[in-house]
Amino acid sequence: MDFQVMRIPLIDRFSGLYQFALFLGHWIIVSHSLLRVTHDTVRKEEGGVDGEVLTALIAAAAAVSGGAVTGWFTLAAAKRQAHAAVNAAQRQADAAWASGRRQADAAWEAGRQQASAAWEAGQVQAAAQLDVARQTLREQALAAQRNARRTAYVTFLGRIDAAHKARKDWQKAVGTADGPSRRTDYETALFAVPEALYIVRLEGPESVTTAADALEVTLQPAAPDNAFSTAHAAFLTTARAALAAPL
């Protein structure tokens, strides 16, 4: 709500002029009455007018007229003061209303900015937490993949070593009574190698798969004896590099 400054209407000014004219008329009537009384008194009395009486009458007329004029100016001054007081109060009310509205607008804007900042901060925090969760899940997935590869490599190496040992024992027992049983042990151990080799091929990478295939060939009965150690060392090197490399 906006307060408008109250001003003196034009009709009030004409009313003031009317009151002044009314006072002036009264003053004229009173003065005329006093002069008439003075004139009648002079005519009735013989020997002329008493100076003291005439002076008193003039003084009374002056007092009446002065009082009328003074009263009119006093009333006009009182009205101006009242209007000035009302206008001042109106201006103060308008200023107070404008100040209160500015304060309310400033408070609302500050609250809106705080809410917006809190919302943005919440979004940033949520995005950061989501990124952390994604990174954690990715690291966990990579760790699980490395563990799966490590398990596959260890299992394959265990069966390779068992088959290699059974092959050496059989070769040493050829021509003896233990030869047939050693051969059976060797064939059983060799039969278990392909299963572990398939898992290595599934886990990869290709370099490890190639080294594993080369190592498995060295377990065949006709393979050279020194081929195993070379292929075994190559597989270990390749497997360690694959486990250390980023996925």
Residue 56 identity: A
pLDDT tens track, the chain, 247 positions = 444 444 445 445 555 555 666 666 665 665 656 556 555 655 555 455 555 655 666 666 666 666 665 766 677 778 888 888 888 888 898 888 888 889 989 888 998 999 889 889 988 988 898 888 888 888 888 889 999 999 999 999 999 999 999 999 999 999 999 999 999 999 999 999 999 999 999 999 999 999 999 999 999 998 998 899 999 999 999 999 999 988 7
Q: CA nearest 164: which of 217, 208, 241?
A: 217
Q: What is the pTM of this model?
A: 0.52
